[in-house]
Amino acid sequence: MKNKSVVPILLVVLFLALCFQAEAQQQKVYRAGVLMIGSPDLPQIKGLRDGLKEIGYVEGKNLLLDIPATENIDEHRPIAKAYIEKKVDVIVAMGTTAPRIARELTRDIPIVFIGASDPIASGLVKSVARPEANVTGVASATDVELQGKRFELFKEAVPTLRRVAVLYNARSENPLHAKSLALVQKVAPHLAARGESRE
């Protein structure tokens, strides 16, 4: 079974190719800065590297990828500022909060997000068809209402479910985290009542 992250990574790679203006200038070394939580050996980064290599961008030859390992979102702002000072060609940001931080700091450097949730509601782009900013990418979801639907499906899959713990990042700068939690809190009592009425 193929990894579900392959298609979004390929789309991002194609966009990066446009950002780098795939001309016959093999002498130019393009610089990309990555904002993400975790280490550079994540599958998304491997897919990014592989895809860029396939279209002729080879690390150490005509591409420099700056991928610092980070443990939390607080580390992103200083890293993004450093990328801007270095004048990287593009910033690749994982999730929703990382590209929001980058967008807050620069309107000049292209920002490509991977896996952002609802980029319109989170303020990353004005519309999916016409971002009208220096930000574009691949979203993991385009509607916060999906959180409620997922919760309903979870209850259908496990009808005896009585208690659920929801973990979310309360310190995140992503406004969708709080909206998603509120939606789950709204849906949960109705699902519990529905389960009791069936008994």
Residue-wise pLDDT for 128-169, tens only, equals: 777 778 998 887 765 556 666 777 777 788 888 777 777 766
Do residues 56 and 131 share a domain? yes
In terms of residue numbers, what domain contains 152?
146-198
Do residues 89 and 155 share a domain? no
Do residues 64 and 38 share a domain? yes
Specify if 96 maps to a domain: yes
Q: Give the E-state strand segments of the chain in sequence order.
A: 30-35, 63-66, 90-94, 111-117, 135-141
Specify if 188 maps to a domain: yes
Band (174; pLDDT cuts 50, 70, 90): low
Band (172; pLDDT cuts 50, 70, 90): low
Specify if 180 maps to a domain: yes
Specify if 62 maps to a domain: yes
Do residues 86 and 136 share a domain? yes
The CA-atom distances, in angstroms, between 186 and each of 91, 152, 173, 182 are 37, 12, 22, 6
Spatial contact of 35 and 102, defined as CB atoms under 8 Å apart: yes
pLDDT in tens, 13-59: 767 776 665 554 547 899 999 999 888 888 888 888 888 889 888 89
Do residues 86 and 26 share a domain? yes
Do residues 152 and 136 share a domain? no
End-to-end CA distance of the chain: 39
Res 162: pLDDT: 75
Domain count across the chain = 2
Do residues 99 and 158 share a domain? no
Specify if 1 maps to a domain: no
Do residues 33 and 12 share a domain? yes
Specify if 156 maps to a domain: yes
The last residue of one of the domains, among 93, 110, 141, is: 141
CATH number for position 30: 3.40.50.2300
Do residues 137 and 177 share a domain? no
Do residues 93 and 36 share a domain? yes
- Of the two residues 67 and 191, the one the predictor is more confident about is 67
Do residues 128 and 171 share a domain? no
Do residues 136 and 152 share a domain? no
pTM of the model: 0.67
